[in-house]
């Protein structure tokens, strides 16, 4: 070998070595980047999700002195947490500045002799009952102006129902115990008057179209079945019920029709081993919270039982001592309690959670309140008003609320429910991930039920029985199907396939039964045809003969579908399912999703499985055939076993594709998060739920973060499926690699 040739050979070796190293470095770097990207996604999802599981925290803010803190009836603060107001038991109203060390900004007083006072549950309004049987309703107001571009808040008092006193008792007797509620226009007042009688007066509001003022027309009635002693009265904001507590018994009155007030029930609501100390209505007015001297707070609301609705015990919470006061969160289902020793506890009903417990005051707490944004806690302890910053952004999201059954207000029993939004501010968020996780698994199951048999059978036939010439056409054609946009598949499934299945339901069922039967019958008949006919078809091309069979059976099934529907189902197969079998039917259901998403998954499974079967070494199949095994025996006992790692990987790849699919399930289902495995009902999946609700979710809200949690769950699902698939694939490879 010449020196020049040796030099060129060495130069070529160095280039190959350099290329090998560069390729190795590139592949390694690419793999590392992929792993880093996955880890970044994982930790970013955790970063967004983590705050929803943080417990509440309370930090001292400011303290100011009150003129008469011991008789505070209602405390409150405007939305900016700059000015607080105090309504006292004797009719005094005062405003203080938190920014100016408690400087008094404004004060006024109710005219007349106050004999009773009460604050409205859920609204910053106070009613004062006077000794002449009248009542005045007051509310704080804050006027915001911008003189010289400086925001200025001016406190004051407004009279929502007019400055003129409202005559609660027509006989003019002094009001000794008082409760009221309003639904915006009408006002309902219940009062114990001198002598122990309860009067119930409804003021029907109507706006005067000339003056624009609200005119109130009173209607007063007597209350039947009154207890001998009345300790507390509550009226619900929807003006439907009135609760009268006497000792440990609560009488429930239906007051929807003021002229037909009736006693619904008398319920002992005290906790076991305790006596009732106070009760209040949870935000929204649908639930009653009952506090006891043993620290137990119980929740009650109406539940449908045996055709009628009754107030039912739902759950209870444990405070740190005898409960003296309960304050509700604004527009949320949480509440705060204070005990006789000054211990403060924060709870949330939906999450069934105890979020905070700490002693923040002495033994003389006279008033307890939360700010409109639930981020400031106010405690009146003697003449001292203490404020505390509250960090409790996501109390409704707990492990219990996400993954177990929750008894929501108005529901007959605990259920899994996803319902993140509503038009009402009193809405109880229902953020269970179980229905949408179930929907994800359901959609993937029906998609694989449709796709796996077709894809694997097609892959085996294409790789093992089909002629090479036909295989070169079929395999690329099926693989090209994977390039179809899923939005097109979803569009066709929702607007064409779903109505087609609904109108030809018997035909679809017949296709599922008769199509396999027709193919098997064709194969059976083919065996008995004359040999010269069978030999006329080249080996490996027989599958083309099934095309007219498939088209004919499909056409016949849909053509005779109306006839079958008229003969066997009275012309309405959907009605037969619903009325006779009790099976619900949604137009966009799991059958539609299974076919459409199965069509999208088939190319993935087919391609990988076909490669696995085709890659089985020829010496294995030739050796099996040489030993006298039939082609079918060789396929089932040699080829399938050897190719099983690849086939299993194909199925798991298809499963991962089905779990993460978005557009098809978004467009081809009703997107209803129901827990029903019926093939004729729809579902909502994790991916579709994120796509539907993320654009309208408020950033950093509980809803927003739970959607990220749904993405995290989807990420974990996919990771687990792929991990299990790789583990099983390696086991199968190790087991059959020696063949």
- Nearest one of 167, 163, 203, 166 to 187, comparing CA atoms: 203
Model pLDDT, residue 512: 87
pLDDT at residue number 736:
63
Q: How confident is the model at residue 336 (pLDDT cuts 50, 70, 90)?
A: very high
Q: What is the pTM of this model?
A: 0.86
What is the β-pairing status of strands 166-167 and 232-235?
Answer: unpaired
Instruction: For residue 432, name the pLDDT band (cuts at 50, 70, 90).
Output: very high
Non-local (6+) Cβ contacts of 187 within 8 A are: 137, 161, 166, 180, 181, 202, 203, 205, 216
Predicted confidence at residue 316, as pLDDT, reads 94
**Can you give the pLDDT at residue 12?**
65
Quick one: tokens of 451? Answer: 């796709």
pLDDT score, position 11: 64
d(CA 77, CA 726): 59
pLDDT digits (tens, 9 = 90+) for 626-676: 888 888 888 888 888 888 888 888 898 888 888 888 888 888 887 888 888
Kindly tell me if the per-residue pLDDT of 164 is higher than 90.
Answer: no
Distance CA 271, CA 736 (A): 66
Q: Which residues contact 437 (CB under 8 A, 6 or more apart)?
A: 686, 713, 717
User: Mean per-residue pLDDT for 391-409?
Assistant: 91
Give the pLDDT mean for 542-550. 85
CA 729 to chain centre: 36
Model confidence at 570: pLDDT above 90 = no
Q: How many domains, in total, are found in the chain?
A: 1
DSSP-assigned letter for residue 344: E
Domain holding 671, by residue range, is: 434-736
One-character DSSP codes across 407-424: --TT-SS-B--EE---S-
Q: What is the CATH number of the domain that holds 513?
A: 1.10.3720.10
Question: Of 7-21, 165-179, 195-209, 513-527, which range is least confident?
Answer: 7-21
pLDDT of residue 467: 85
What size, in residues, is the chain? 739
160 part of a folded domain = no
**Residue 248 pLDDT exceeds 80:** yes
The reply to whether 531 falls in a domain is yes
pLDDT (0 to 100) of residue 258:
87
Average pLDDT over residues 47-72: 87
Question: For residue 718, what is the enclosing H or E element?
Answer: helix 702-736
Average pLDDT over residues 299-314: 89
Domain assignment present for 239: no
Instruction: Read off the pLDDT of residues 187-238 as tens digits, 9 standing for 90 and up.
Output: 999 988 887 788 899 998 787 666 667 778 888 887 877 787 888 999 998 8
Q: What is the pLDDT of residue 10?
A: 59
90, part of any domain: no
Q: Is residue 347 part of a domain?
A: no
Give the C-alpha separation, 261 to 95, whole Å.
Answer: 40
Contact by Cβ (8 Å): 334, 349: yes
Q: What six digits make up the tokens of 309?
A: 């609705």
Whether residue 281 is contained in a domain is answered as: no
Distance CA 239, CA 237 (A): 5
User: For residue 15, is it within any domain?
Assistant: no
* Distance between CA atoms of residues 634 and 636, nearest Å: 6
Nearest to 355, CA basis, from 299, 300, 313, 397: 397
């Amino acid at each position: 070998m010449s020196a020049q040739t040796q030099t060129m050979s060495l130069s070529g070796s160095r280039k190959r070595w350099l290329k090998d190293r560069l390729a190795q470095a590139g592949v390694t770097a690419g793999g590392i980047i992929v792993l880093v990207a996955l880890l970044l996604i994982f930790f970013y999802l955790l970063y967004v999700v983590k705050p929803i599981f943080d417990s509440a925290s309370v930090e001292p803010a400011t303290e100011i002195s009150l003129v008469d803190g011991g008789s505070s009836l209602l405390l409150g603060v405007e939305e900016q947490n700059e000015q607080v107001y105090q309504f006292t038991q004797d009719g005094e109203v005062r405003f203080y500045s938190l920014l100016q060390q408690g400087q008094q900004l404004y004060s006024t007083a109710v005219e007349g002799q106050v004999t009773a006072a009460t604050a409205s549950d859920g609204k910053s309004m106070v009613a004062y009952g006077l000794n002449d049987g009248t009542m005045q309703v007051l509310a704080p107001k804050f006027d915001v102006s911008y003189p010289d571009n400086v925001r200025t808040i001016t406190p004051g008092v407004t009279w929502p129902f007019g400055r003129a006193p409202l005559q609660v008792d027509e006989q003019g007797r002094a009001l000794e115990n008082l409760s009221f509620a309003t639904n915006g226009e009408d006002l309902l007042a219940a009062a114990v008057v001198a002598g122990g009688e309860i009067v119930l007066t409804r003021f029907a509001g109507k706006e005067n179209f000339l003056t624009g003022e609200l005119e109130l027309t009173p209607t007063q009635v007597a209350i039947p079945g009154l207890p001998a002693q009345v300790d507390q009265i509550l009226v619900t904001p929807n003006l439907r019920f009135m609760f009268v507590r006497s000792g440990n018994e609560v009488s429930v009155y239906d007051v929807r029709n003021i002229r037909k007030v009736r006693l619904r029930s008398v319920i002992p609501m005290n906790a076991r081993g305790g006596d009732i100390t106070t009760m209040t209505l949870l935000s929204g007015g649908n639930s009653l919270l009952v506090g006891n001297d043993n620290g137990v707070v119980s929740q009650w609301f109406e539940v449908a039982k045996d055709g009628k609705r009754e107030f039912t015990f739902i759950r209870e919470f444990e405070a740190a001592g005898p409960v003296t006061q309960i304050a509700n969160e604004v527009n949320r289902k949480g509440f705060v309690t204070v005990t006789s020793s000054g211990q403060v506890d924060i709870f949330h009903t939906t999450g069934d959670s105890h979020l905070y417990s700490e002693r923040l005051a002495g033994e003389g707490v006279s008033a307890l309140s939360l700010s409109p944004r639930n981020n400031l806690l106010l405690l009146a302890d003697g003449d001292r008003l203490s404020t505390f910053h509250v960090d409790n952004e996501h109390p409704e999201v707990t492990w219990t609320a996400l993954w177990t059954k929750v008894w929501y207000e108005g529901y007959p029993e605990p259920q899994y429910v996803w319902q993140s939004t509503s038009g009402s501010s009193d809405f109880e968020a229902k953020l269970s991930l179980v229905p949408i996780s179930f929907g994800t698994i359901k959609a993937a199951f029906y998609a694989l039920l449709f796709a796996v048999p077709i894809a694997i059978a097609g892959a085996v036939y294409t790789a093992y029985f089909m002629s090479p010439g036909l295989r070169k056409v079929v395999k690329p054609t099926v693989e090209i199907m994977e390039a179809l946009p899923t939005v097109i598949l979803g569009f066709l499934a929702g607007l064409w396939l779903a109505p087609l299945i609904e109108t030809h339901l018997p035909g679809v069922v017949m296709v599922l039964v008769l199509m396999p039967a027709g193919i098997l019958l064709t194969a059976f008949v083919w065996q008995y045809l004359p040999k010269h006919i069978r030999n006329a078809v080249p080996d490996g091309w027989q599958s083309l003969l099934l095309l007219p069979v498939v088209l004919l059976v499909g056409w016949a099934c849909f053509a005779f579908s109306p006839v079958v529907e008229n003969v066997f189902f009275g012309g309405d197969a959907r009605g037969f399912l619903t009325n006779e079998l009790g099976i619900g039917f949604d137009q966009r259901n799991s059958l539609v999703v299974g076919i459409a998403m199965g069509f999208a998954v088939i190319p993935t499974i087919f391609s990988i499985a076909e490669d696995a079967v085709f890659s089985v070494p020829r010496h294995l199949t030739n050796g099996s055939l040489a030993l006298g095994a039939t082609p079918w025996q060789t396929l089932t006992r040699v080829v399938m076993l050897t190719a099983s790692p690849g086939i299993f990987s194909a199925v798991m790849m298809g499963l991962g594709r089905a779990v993460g699919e978005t557009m098809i399930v978004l467009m081809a289902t009703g997107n209803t998060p129901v827990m029903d495995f019926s093939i004729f009902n729809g579902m909502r999946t994790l991916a579709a739920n994120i796509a539907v609700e993320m654009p309208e979710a408020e950033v950093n809200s509980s809803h927003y973060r739970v959607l990220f949690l749904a993405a995290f769950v989807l990420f974990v699902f996919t990771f687990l499926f792929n991990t299990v698939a790789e583990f099983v694939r390696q086991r199968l490879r190790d087991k059959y690699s020696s063949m």
